[in-house]
Amino acid sequence: MEAPPLERRLVAILAADVAGYSRLMGIDEEGTLATLSDFRLITDALIARHGGRICGTAGDSILAAFGSALAAVQCAIDIQTELATSNELLDEDRRMQFRIGVNVGDVMVKEGDIFGDGVNIAARLEGMAEPGGICISRGIHDHVAKKLPYDFEDLGEQSVKNIAQPIRVFRIIRDRPKLEQASGHSGAQEPELPANEPTALDDIPSLTEGAPVTSAPDAQSVEIEFWDSIKTSVRAQEYEAYLEQYPEGSFVALARARLEAIAEDSIRDPQDREIELAFWDSVRESANPALIEAYLEKYPKGEFSTLAEIRLRELTQESGPAG
């Protein structure tokens, strides 16, 4: 079968992962996974509300694409704000904080997945962010600096792994509003973007602000409840029912991955899934192709095999032809 062609798009890319995830797993695996699942309901709903599209999830990480730089940054801010509120209900040593990076770049698109330097830079920005913080690239900063009621700390040019040129990095200071905003209209902020329903990656336009959006239908909350009710199931028909009802839903990639895993193992031992998750989590950011190959050899049809194949292709392209 002929491989689907690669397409290129200019999108705003949001990359997020959990700070100190391994430490949290060491304290309480089941509790950490339950918290991550609860927090993912929040993040996924916010991404959909701001018109984003989830393009990859692996372990504790999230990758999403937006057609608007402002929507991507506002989504990142809302995620950190809502998760901070949720963390207040948890013991201090069990709180789960995300780091978020946002970049704008030309990416390659294949079967709904995105990859390329634009994605890599977003991931590196995320790594520079403090727990609960947001770092953005200069391109994003130039688009949103005058549209948001926050100050930005210029972190200067930063050299990052696997990226040839240094990138200019800015940190969003959410706890200190802009003086001109605070002194002017009693600190009133610009209105938030209207809620809108999730967009298929094919529908994300070139990077623009102010694109028309539509109100989120009640069906979005119904979809989240549907997914929450089946996400731990080992019955293929439940995932098939989700895909039939929500062919462009927020959890399509996860549903297909579950179906592939079920097809390989009629009923998979949950403990084996946790072992695979830990394996992938330990190699997903590695620059050593042998480690990614080891995962694929162990789990050729695993939950993260598609992401592993994409990562392996990236590493192969970065290393270039031998000799």
Contact 230, 242 (CB under 8 A): yes
Which of 111-115, 217-221, 290-294 shows the lowest mean pLDDT across its residues? 217-221
Which one, of 161, 162, 171, lies nearest residue 132 by Cα? Answer: 171
More confident residue, 301 or 193: 301
- Tell me the longest C-alpha to C-alpha distance in the chain: 64
d(CA 251, CA 81): 23
User: What is the structure's pLDDT at 181?
Assistant: 44
C-alpha distances in angstroms, 6 versus 56, 73, 256? 17, 27, 21
Q: 135: how many CB neighbours lie within 10 A of its CB?
A: 28
What pLDDT, on a 0 to 100 scale, did the predictor assign at position 162? 67
User: pLDDT tier at 214 (50, 70, 90 boundaries)?
Assistant: very low
Q: How confident is the model at residue 196 (pLDDT cuts 50, 70, 90)?
A: very low
Q: Which of 104-113, 147-156, 158-167 has the highest mean pLDDT?
A: 147-156
Tens digit of pLDDT for each residue in 265-317? 544 555 566 677 778 778 878 888 888 888 888 888 777 888 888 888 888 87
Mean pLDDT calculated for residue range 86-90: 91
Determine the pLDDT at residue 110. Answer: 74
CA distance 241 to 301: 22
How large is the average pLDDT for residues 156-167? 78
Task: Find the range with the poorest average confidence among 52-61, 197-206, 240-249, 303-312.
Answer: 197-206
The closest of 261, 249, 149 to 200, measured between CA atoms, is 249
Given a contact cutoff of 8 angstroms between Cβ atoms, the answer to whether 280 and 300 are in contact is: no
Compute φ and ψ for 107, nearest 5 degrees.
Answer: -120, 160
Among 32-41, 165-174, 211-220, 296-305, the minimum mean pLDDT is found in 211-220
Is pLDDT of 88 > 60? yes
The confidence score (pLDDT) of residue 11 equals 87
How large is the average pLDDT for residues 160-167? 74
Indicate whether 218 pLDDT > 70: no
Alpha helices by DSSP H, the chain: 21-27, 29-49, 69-87, 117-128, 138-144, 179-183, 219-230, 236-245, 252-264, 270-283, 289-298, 305-319
Between residues 35 and 305, which one has the greater pLDDT?
35
